[in-house]
């Protein structure tokens, strides 16, 4: 059996709301994650602050606008701007959404790529081009989706086909698996069990909003639900521990509280490693 | 066109124009609406925070119509969320005519509010610094002066810098307003976020600013004076020289002009 890597690390999504507190208190956090789109065009102060964070912590990036499944041409100058950003702050990991957010122009929200073989081929080809430009592997996140227009194959098949054909990595968002399993009536444990362990680069966990019993919205605006913690625990048992990050984008609690919640990831990683 | 392309096109067409485009028939309306709501809320949040004055002077209904029309008609090319506001100004600029319900200064006000955002997020190289009035006066002779790289310049027929909910129906002025918006390097108080300022230029200061804007490597006081004397032949050279001597330290202290280290 393949030797399990020790990959214990806990991160938090970095937000401007508490950036000053991070610099002031330097809490014990394994890594912070930023959206490059929110920092590239933001002037001196942002550059200075980010450089200061980078001196003290590892950073990962989680992009918003790559639009890997878009019918519009790949925005190569944008990919190169991302590359400059990664190089400038010495960042190894760049993740994005297995999704699209533009079609004849940007809509600035994550839309569901039709789950078809042809679409998977198309996306995989674009992923390869991005990897070539970035000279780094692209890490794609399984996104939450509220509708699956034009679906011909299962979500899991779609994801695995893209990962295989593009030879890229997976960002396993455990909350998204849970949200999707409710919204589209499947077994989240079975879904996670069938993912390829060797492709999981790292994970995300977050809170969601229950709009209806059969419609959960991935808001990142509440605490992580117990069902999702259980699913993360299962993911560690199944695939070994992987670095995992807590995302919180709305109703953000004080930094100390956020760190306490992130500690729960640490506890699960301890338990899985024991 | 492959099936998935067709699916994407129908899906996005409906999201942009839910009142008129046919709804994709394979998807439950409740779920489609989630996407429409997410897109509309997100765009609206960025527009509200980017155009607080315009938002204030328009009624809620008119604002909503404008935002919906932006989503429906505009092809946004920027991948950066912070440039949604720039896309909105481009959208307004491209409108042949706006509905009668929006004030005639809508485009100008939006363009002006965007200048403030651009000034706020502009990168000012570390080599440039801001002098106090006395430093500026002492070194005015030998310093090389640069226009603050955050400076945004626009000319308007409406008094856009003075529009507010209490002053929502100003008349245009035949002479127009020549406005410079910039971010000083010195803050009034430490720990305060950088604030953007504006300055109304007159015909002479406008030419002065333009000279500095066009020079890559900055200008000394003498070079600037010489250029202005040539560009303003109607003015006496001595008047220009005295004028530059007064304006330079003043603009330097405000942070409109910066000196190189």
Contact check, Cβ <8 Å, A65/B81: yes
Q: Are residues B130 and B243 in the same domain?
A: yes
Give me the mean pLDDT over the A221-244 stretch. 97
In the structure encoding, which two tokens stand for residue B35, read together?
């996407």
The pLDDT value given to residue B190 = 67
Give me the mean pLDDT over the B170-181 stretch. 96
Cα B183 to Cα B198: distance, rounded to the nearest angstrom: 9
Burial label for B204, CB within 10 Å (0-12, 13-18, 19+), is middle
Cα A73 to Cα B102: distance, rounded to the nearest angstrom: 35
**CA distance to partner chain A, nearest, from residue B27 (Å):** 6
Q: How confident is the model at residue A45 (pLDDT cuts 50, 70, 90)?
A: confident
Q: Are residues B246 and B152 in the same domain?
A: yes
Q: Does a structural domain hold residue B112? A: no
Q: Are residues B32 and B72 in the same domain?
A: yes
Q: How confident is the model at residue B199 (pLDDT cuts 50, 70, 90)?
A: very high
Instruction: Please report residues of B whose CB lies closer than 8 A to that of A62.
Output: none
Rg (CA), chain A: 18
Q: Does a structural domain hold residue B114? A: no
The pLDDT value given to residue A6 = 55
Residue that is last in its domain, among B102, B136, B151:
B102
**Residue A37 in contact with partner chain B when CB distance is under 8 A:** yes
Global pTM value = 0.94
The pLDDT value given to residue A79 = 98
**Residue A100 in contact with partner chain B when CB distance is under 8 A:** yes
Q: Are residues B79 and B178 in the same domain?
A: no
Total number of domains in chain B: 2
Q: Does a structural domain hold residue B113? A: no
Q: Are residues B136 and B246 in the same domain?
A: yes
Task: Tell me the pLDDT tens digit for each residue of A121-160.
Answer: 999 999 999 999 999 999 999 999 999 999 999 999 999 9
| Arithmetic mean of pLDDT over chain B | 93
Half-sphere exposure in the Cβ direction for B23 (13 Å, CA)? 14
Q: Are residues B163 and B255 in the same domain?
A: yes
Contact check, Cβ <8 Å, A37/B77: no
Cα A190 to Cα A226: distance, rounded to the nearest angstrom: 18
Q: Does a structural domain hold residue B234? A: yes
What's the domain range around B148? 124-260
Q: Are residues B169 and B248 in the same domain?
A: yes
Q: Are residues B208 and B82 in the same domain?
A: no
**Residue B123 in contact with partner chain A when CB distance is under 8 A:** yes
Q: Are residues B171 and B232 in the same domain?
A: yes
Contact check, Cβ <8 Å, B3/A41: no
Q: Does a structural domain hold residue B159? A: yes
Cα A114 to Cα A8: distance, rounded to the nearest angstrom: 34
- Cβ(A34)–Cβ(A11) under 8 Å? no
Q: Are residues B165 and B75 in the same domain?
A: no
Residue that is last in its domain, among B40, B70, B102:
B102
Nearest by CB to residue B81, choosing from A37, A47, A113, is A37
Q: Are residues B57 and B9 in the same domain?
A: yes
Residue that is last in its domain, among B69, B102, B135:
B102
CATH number of the domain to which B254 belongs: 3.90.930.50
Task: Tell me the pLDDT tens digit for each residue of A50-69.
Answer: 999 999 999 999 999 999 99
| Arithmetic mean of pLDDT over chain A | 95
Chain B nearest-CA residue for A77: B79
Q: Is ipTM beyond 0.90?
A: yes
Contact check, Cβ <8 Å, A107/B24: no
CATH number of the domain to which B32 belongs: 1.10.150
CB atoms inside a 10 Å sphere around CB B168: 14
Q: Is the pLDDT of residue B20 over 70?
A: yes
Q: Does a structural domain hold residue B163? A: yes
Q: Are residues B135 and B256 in the same domain?
A: yes
Q: Does a structural domain hold residue B116? A: no
**Residue A78 in contact with partner chain B when CB distance is under 8 A:** yes
Cα A202 to Cα A121: distance, rounded to the nearest angstrom: 24
Closest CA to B217 of B143, B158, B164: B143
């Amino acid at each position: 059996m393949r030797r399990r890597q020790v990959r214990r690390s806990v991160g938090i999504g970095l937000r401007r709301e508490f950036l000053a507190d991070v610099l002031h208190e330097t809490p014990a956090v394994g890594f912070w994650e930023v959206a490059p789109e929110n920092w590239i065009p933001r002037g001196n102060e942002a550059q200075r602050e980010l450089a200061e964070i980078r001196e003290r912590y590892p950073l990962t990036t989680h992009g918003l606008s790559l639009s890997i499944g878009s019918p519009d041409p790949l925005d190569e100058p944008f990919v190169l701007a991302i590359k400059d950003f990664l190089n400038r702050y010495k960042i190894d990991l760049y993740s994005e959404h297995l999704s699209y957010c533009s079609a004849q122009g940007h809509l600035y929200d994550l839309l569901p790529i039709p789950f078809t073989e042809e679409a998977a081929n198309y996306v995989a080809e674009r992923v390869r081009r991005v990897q070539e430009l970035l000279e780094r592997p692209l890490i794609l996140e399984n996104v939450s989706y509220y509708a699956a227009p034009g679906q011909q194959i299962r979500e899991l098949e779609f994801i695995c086909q893209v990962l295989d054909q593009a030879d890229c990595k997976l960002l396993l968002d455990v909350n998204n698996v849970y949200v999707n399993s409710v919204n589209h009536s499947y077994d989240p444990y079975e879904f996670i069990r069938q993912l390829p362990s060797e492709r999981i680069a790292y994970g995300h966990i977050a809170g969601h909003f229950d709009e209806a019993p059969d419609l959960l919205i991935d808001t990142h605006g509440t605490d992580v639900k117990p069902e999702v913690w259980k699913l993360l625990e299962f993911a560690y048992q199944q695939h070994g521990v992987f670095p995992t990050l807590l995302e919180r984008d709305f109703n953000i609690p004080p930094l100390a509280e956020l760190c306490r919640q992130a500690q729960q990831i640490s506890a699960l990683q301890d338990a899985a490693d024991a | 066109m492959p099936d998935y392309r067709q699916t994407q096109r129908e899906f996005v067409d409906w999201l942009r124009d839910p009142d008129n485009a046919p709804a994709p028939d394979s998807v439950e309306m409740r779920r489609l609406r989630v996407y429409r709501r997410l897109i509309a809320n997100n765009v609206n949040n960025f527009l509200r925070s980017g155009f607080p004055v315009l938002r204030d002077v328009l009624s809620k209904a008119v604002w909503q119509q404008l935002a919906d029309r932006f989503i429906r008609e505009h092809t946004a090319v920027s991948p950066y969320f912070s440039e949604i506001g720039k896309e909105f100004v481009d959208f307004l600029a491209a409108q042949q005519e706006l509905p009668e319900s929006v004030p005639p200064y809508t485009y100008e006000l939006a363009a002006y509010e965007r200048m403030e955002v651009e000034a706020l997020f502009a990168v000012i190289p570390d080599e440039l610094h801001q002098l106090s009035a006395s430093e500026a006066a002492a070194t005015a002779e030998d310093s090389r002066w640069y226009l603050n790289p955050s400076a945004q310049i626009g000319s308007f027929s409406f008094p856009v810098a003075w529009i507010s909910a209490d002053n929502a129906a100003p008349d245009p002025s035949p002479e127009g307003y020549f406005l410079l918006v910039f971010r000083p390097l010195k803050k009034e108080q430490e720990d305060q976020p950088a604030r953007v300022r504006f300055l109304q230029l007159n015909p002479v200061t406008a030419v002065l600013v333009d000279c500095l804007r066009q020079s890559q490597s900055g200008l000394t006081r003498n070079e600037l004076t010489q250029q202005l004397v040539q560009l303003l032949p109607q003015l006496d050279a001595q008047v220009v020289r005295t004028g530059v001597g007064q304006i330079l330290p003043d603009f330097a202290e405000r942070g409109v002009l910066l000196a190189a280290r």
